[in-house]
Structure 1
């Protein structure tokens, strides 16, 4: 699933989002593309749950999708 995320600017942001996703699925694959503002998650997580985790980490999810 892919998310368009606002507010990511550095490695700390990428680590914070990765940690948030890993609280739901420690085995999830998380790819953070800072320049594009895209977070890709592969794992056993529902789209809404992953979006909520990103939001709770302090970032704004502008778009979410399963693809």
Structure 2
């Protein structure tokens, strides 16, 4: 399970674009998005770096985790 904070996500269109980007990387991924919290949880066998790169390419770079 991977957790991403997505500060640039602000609307339903963003959610759709993020979901599409993640599913293009792993069509078996289970994705849960919380628009209000601007977070996404992704259950995928892919490494976090691959998913983060897909999000960045779609225009929604994940916030750096502390």
Higher strand share: 1
Q: Considering the TM-score relative to the shorter chain, is it more than 0.5?
A: yes
1:40 is aligned to 41
CA RMSD of aligned residues (A): 1.1
TM-score by length of structure 2 reads 0.87
Runs of at least 5 residues in structure 2 that lack an aligned partner in the other structure: none
Distance in 2, Cα, partners of 1:5 & 1:27: 21
SS of match in other structure, 2:14: helix
Relative contact order (C-alpha < 8 Å, sep 6+): which is higher? 1
Q: How many residues align?
A: 64
List structure 1 runs of 4+ shifted beyond 2 angstroms.
none
